[in-house]
Amino acid sequence: MARISLIEPAQASPEVKEIYDGKLKGKPGSIQKALAHRPAMLGNFLGFYASVGRSLDRKLYEAVYLRVSLINRCHYCTQHHIQSGKRAGLTPEQMKALKEGNYSGFGAPEQSALRYAEKLNAHARRRQRRRLRRTQEAFLRRADCRSAYADWIGEPDQPRHRPAGVGSGIPGRKDLGRVVTGLCPVRT
């Protein structure tokens, strides 16, 4: 089940229906249905996606998308780009090499593009971790948030053998970002 509700064509606003029927030819995928909560974002995403697709060789385009999907461990994107990669001419050996980060089976221009995409992705992940760390630090500086955080992680004498959230009504540790922003708005 999706964590973000998907906007099906029957429930779409007129603006989203226009995008579904026009650019997506009446067949939106799950990612487009999730982005439909913000029609402007969906339109910008589709424009960007199309411009990148027109500027690269289709096989290279799918190789880059597949590699980034594998790095990010996005199962949905990986499955989508495996299928698209097959249609674009990626061989099973090339897909295995992409999973391993071995670009030797590709030509020099393709290797450069794959390395560049990997570096961009790593840079974005570092920025995301820094942003989360700053948010956590700001969260823990506030007294009311410190007590909420202590309540959230439990008292020292509580057993730690099961993750928070399992039958307790307490959000799991993965939900820290939502807990932070829900309890304590942080100005950055």
Domain enclosing residue 44, as ranges: 1-55
Count of domains observed in the chain: 1
48 within a domain of the structure (yes/no): yes
CA distance 162 to 97: 38
Residue 31 lies in a domain: yes
Residue 21 lies in a domain: yes
Distance between CA atoms of residues 138 and 93, nearest Å: 47
- The verdict on residue 34 lying in a domain is yes
Q: Would 16 be classed as within a structural domain?
A: yes
For the chain, the average pLDDT equals 77
The proportion of the chain whose per-residue pLDDT surpasses 90, expressed as a percent, equals 37
Answering whether pTM is above 0.75, one says: no
Residue 27 lies in a domain: yes
Please indicate, yes or no, if residue 121 is contained in any of the structural domains.
no
Three-class secondary structure of residue 20 per DSSP: helix
- 131 occurs within a structural domain: no
Query: 115 vs 46, 62, 73, CA distance in Å?
Result: 24, 14, 17
